[in-house]
Structure 1
Amino acid sequence: MAGITKLLAVLTPPPFLMPEEYDGLEFRWKWFVFRPALFQREVFLLAGLFGYIAFFLYGRWSNSRKATKWLDAHLPLLESQFSKPKRWTQDGYSDFFNFSTGRRNVASLHAIFTLRPRHDFFQWAFQTLRTFVDLQYRPTDDLQLDFKLLPGALAHDFVWAVVSKDELLSVKTDRWDLTFTKTTENSALPPKFSVMSEFADVTDGVLKAFPFAKVLEDPHVAQYFRSLSITDQPRERPLKPLLPNEHEKHVILNLRAPPASHPSVTAGIVAAMFPFVDSLSKVALRPETKIKLKKVREETEKDIKKESERDKKEEEAEALEAKKAAKRRVEEERIAKLSAADQKKVLERERKRSIRKQQGKLAK
């Protein structure tokens, strides 16, 4: 009890002592007296609190406005292409999603806004300060259009991408499927962009099927373009071989989200994505390229299967060891409850058993 009393005495703030003499600004109303000079610290605390709330409200409004303006500007296009376009759904104050279905060659389109955390001062400040320390770190408002393709929409299994050179490092880090590719230059594209392709024949087939280079020549598109990829592989390395029904093919367009003041600036490239997707069934590859692509996937499947089996064996071994350890603990607890004489008998029996095991090993 004495300890609790001492603790309360430490935590209790000292009583406020009203100075006998005060010649500063004072407000009086009946029994109420307010002297601003006595509350200088509280003024700064309240100012900080109101500033944080204002930052939160403005950041939330800014992110919501950016996503809503973009959808409003592109909704007529989505309605002309899909039978079931939907409005935004929101996860927190920086992530917004739109889902559309009902189109030839496209099972679904996910439009995903991942915006900077403008509503959270501390996260925003951390990102901003990190840019001064890590020169490769560039937080941005990301807009991803993920077209999940229907069977038959992509004539062949391959991974291909065209990437802004500013994004090459982050793309290689974030996407396992793009590790299948090699980065090259292509004279058909503006010099600001690089191609990531498994084989040159794939690049020729894609660019012949659809003149995507013309789309990238638009300076407004180039300003917001980050990457465009075609893939038959998951973006993260699978832990076990995929079943036949788990293989999906995607066309993924990554853009910098345009400002709310000019949301329609990306309408041109978004509109171009639909004929681009339709052209993929016309991509022609040489027979030897098809054989190489198939071989790469078979070898990858074998490697993933080996790793999966190895991990499974390790997990089984760990589970068996844990079971043995638990059994030993139970036995040790049982022996600890015995008398000294019984414990001696048990230990002697264990010693003889250990000797017999060693003799059996030496005999072999």
Structure 2
Amino acid sequence: MQAVNNFFKTLVELIGPGAVSVIPRENDGYEGTEYKAWRLVFRPALYKYEIYPIAFILMYLIWWRVGRAANRAKAKGWLDSALPILEKNFTLLAPNPKEEKFPLIADGSDAFLSYASGRRGTLGMHTTISLIARHDPLTLIYNHLISPLIDLTSSTPSDTLTIAVSLRPESNPSASTKAWGVSLVGDPAGDTGAGLRTGTWGVLRKEGLNERRRGRWDLSFPQIQPDSTLPAIADTFAVLSESFDITTALLAPSTAGGSGLKEILEDAESSSVLRSLVISDLPAYKPYSPLPHPSPLTITVVLALPPSTPAGVALTTAYLQVLFNLTDLLTPSTGVFPLTNIKPDTVRKMRKVRIESWKEIKEAYSKEHVPVAGTAAAKEGETKDAATTTAPATREYVEWKDDDEKKPKKKPNAAERKAVEEMERRKKERKEKMKGSK
């Protein structure tokens, strides 16, 4: 053991740095400023390069704090301006403004969410406030300086407000016709104008129209209507519709029972904040597989976030009122603004297009998801196929092959079972004789 210790001691002396000479702090030749605390000494002059990353981190934290506070103030300012009309139309707001100091759900520092429910004809209203990343200077530099150079078609981020209202379907189950994910509310026969209310309809700003259409599957169904067939609305907007009748009904003036959307689109100041308004009975993104239930009719409005000034408050109130009017217009049970003059042929055409689309989705899904042998889906399919095939009385069961051909197999009788047992007995005797001979 002593020899091992001597070996390692010699090895350390050979590869080690040698003896360390301890020089008193007062005699080490340092003449700069130093700070002492007990046995700790800090000499700033020795840290020439470390100061830069430390300063960057401190500045980043200060920027993040200020930007985060600015975004929260903007989001809360809009909600405060919208509270009077929201509390008038809904019985539940979440988070509750009366109980929470900051009545919004923060999804990071640049996105804030709110939910409202308890209004006639609606399942709920989801509000999303998406703001510029003021809290992140690196993201600001990329979005405003680098991204436009990489992609010339990209749009500069801005403060946006998205409000989505999902309508409640007809409460009477017998008043709904469902086929491949299509729900025709209030239309038992599926061939009258009281059924499919709007299909997919939208008003979108022409700037960036193609990009918005590519981002939503449901906007591939309607077509852009020529400007000559539209009412007098701002030239900066395009109307997407599956039928001219629907556009006429939705853009009816307020004096004729309309929602007030036409008046907003005609006013330059009010329409300047509108990015898009889409009414859709289909999912925004193409489903990977057939949906177990139809999608509810949803009204989605995207606005540039109105400021908290008196003019901004007036804009917020006007758009929310139009949104609630559209909700009543498209809800059969309310009858406040009944949507009329929709031809039965239009409804049948929209219904046919949707059924064909759902069939294509189901066929594509079925091709990619073939039931695996032994699983519940495969056994279910085999049971159905076997039930449709009449087998002879002599067949006890059917063995399925990979190519779906049925091969009959008889159950062995008593003589066959006895012959098999005799063969097994002889095999066993031969094995025992071979072992004995060895």
Which category describes the TM-score, using the shorter chain as reference length?
Answer: 0.7 to 0.9
Which structure dedicates a bigger proportion of its chain to helix? 1
Q: TM-score, normalised by structure 2?
A: 0.62
Instruction: Map 1:1-20; keep pairs closer than 5 Å.
Output: 20=29
Correspondence for 1:147 among 155, 162, 165: 165
Q: Give me the whole-angstrom Cα distance separating, in 1, the residues matched to 2:201 and 2:234.
A: 17
Q: Give me the whole-angstrom Cα distance separating, in 1, the residues matched to 2:112 and 2:294.
A: 26
Correspondence for 1:62 among 70, 86, 101: 70
TM-superposed deviation, 1:43: 2.7
Residue in 2 aligned with 1:188? Answer: 232
Root-mean-square deviation over aligned CA pairs: 3.0
Q: 1:78 to 1:107 in 2, by over 3 A?
A: same
Moved more, 51-60 or 117-126: 117-126
CA contact (8 A) 2:259 2:322 kept: no
Moved more, 25-34 or 210-219: 25-34
Correspondence for 1:283 among 325, 339, 342: 339
Q: Give me the whole-angstrom Cα distance separating, in 1, the residues matched to 2:37 and 2:364.
A: 81
CA contact (8 A) 1:224 1:266 kept: no
Residue in 2 aligned with 1:39? Answer: 47
Q: Give me the whole-angstrom Cα distance separating, in 1, the residues matched to 2:242 and 2:250.
A: 12
TM-superposed deviation, 1:28: 6.8
Correspondence for 1:298 among 355, 358, 380: 355
Residue in 2 aligned with 1:205? Answer: 249
Q: Secondary structure at the match of 2:272?
A: helix
Residue in 2 aligned with 1:310? Answer: 367
TM-superposed deviation, 1:157: 4.9
Residue in 2 aligned with 1:115? Answer: 131
2:117 is the alignment partner of 1:101: yes
Residue in 2 aligned with 1:325? Answer: none
Residue in 2 aligned with 1:230? Answer: 279
CA contact (8 A) 2:241 2:247 kept: yes
TM-superposed deviation, 1:289: 0.9
Q: Give me the whole-angstrom Cα distance separating, in 2, the residues matched to 1:198 and 1:28.
A: 77
Deviations for 1:271-291, whole angstroms, at most 9, x for unmatched residues? 221112212242221121111
TM-superposed deviation, 1:293: 0.9
Q: 1:288 to 1:246 in 2, by over 3 A?
A: closer
Q: 1:29 to 1:247 in 2, by over 3 A?
A: closer
Residue in 2 aligned with 1:72? Answer: 80
Q: Secondary structure at the match of 2:359?
A: helix
Q: Give me the whole-angstrom Cα distance separating, in 2, the residues matched to 1:160 and 1:30.
A: 72
Instruction: Map 1:323-342; keep pairs closer than 5 Å.
Output: none
Q: 1:21 to 1:90 in 2, by over 3 A?
A: closer
Q: 1:255 to 1:316 in 2, by over 3 A?
A: farther
Q: 1:234 to 1:26 in 2, by over 3 A?
A: same
Structure 1 gaps of 5+ residues are 10-16, 320-364
Moved more, 48-57 or 268-277: 268-277
Quote the sequence identity (%).
29
Q: 1:19 to 1:170 in 2, by over 3 A?
A: farther
Structure 2 gaps of 5+ residues are 1-7, 17-24, 96-103, 171-184, 186-194, 253-257, 333-337, 376-438
TM-superposed deviation, 1:122: 2.9
Q: 1:50 to 1:275 in 2, by over 3 A?
A: same
Q: Give me the whole-angstrom Cα distance separating, in 2, the residues matched to 1:237 and 1:85.
A: 31
TM-superposed deviation, 1:142: 2.4
Q: Secondary structure at the match of 2:50?
A: helix
TM-superposed deviation, 1:74: 0.3
Correspondence for 1:217 among 241, 248, 266: 266
Q: 1:52 to 1:30 in 2, by over 3 A?
A: closer
Residue in 1 aligned with 2:108? Answer: 92
TM-superposed deviation, 1:38: 4.2
The letter of the residue matching 1:96 is: F
Deviations for 1:298-354, whole angstroms, at most 9, x for unmatched residues? 1111111111111213x859x9xxxxxxxxxxxxxxxxxxxxxxxxxxxxxxxxxxx
Residue in 2 aligned with 1:251? Answer: 299
Q: Secondary structure at the match of 1:41?
A: coil
TM-superposed deviation, 1:21: 7.3
Instruction: Map 1:129-144; keep pairs closer than 5 Å.
Output: 129-138=146-155, 139-144=157-162
Q: 1:155 to 1:300 in 2, by over 3 A?
A: closer
Q: 1:58 to 1:310 in 2, by over 3 A?
A: same
Alignment: residue pair count: 301
Q: Secondary structure at the match of 1:96?
A: strand
CA contact (8 A) 2:231 2:251 kept: no
Q: Give me the whole-angstrom Cα distance separating, in 1, the residues matched to 2:35 and 2:299.
A: 70
Q: Give me the whole-angstrom Cα distance separating, in 2, the residues matched to 1:177 and 1:135.
A: 26
Deviations for 1:250-271, whole angstroms, at most 9, x for unmatched residues? 0111112234567524332122
TM-superposed deviation, 1:132: 2.9
TM-superposed deviation, 1:118: 2.6
Q: Secondary structure at the match of 1:64?
A: helix
Q: Give me the whole-angstrom Cα distance separating, in 1, the residues matched to 2:303 and 2:137.
A: 25
Greater Rg, structure 1 or structure 2?
2
Q: Give me the whole-angstrom Cα distance separating, in 2, the residues matched to 1:162 and 1:228.
A: 5
CA contact (8 A) 1:65 1:260 kept: no
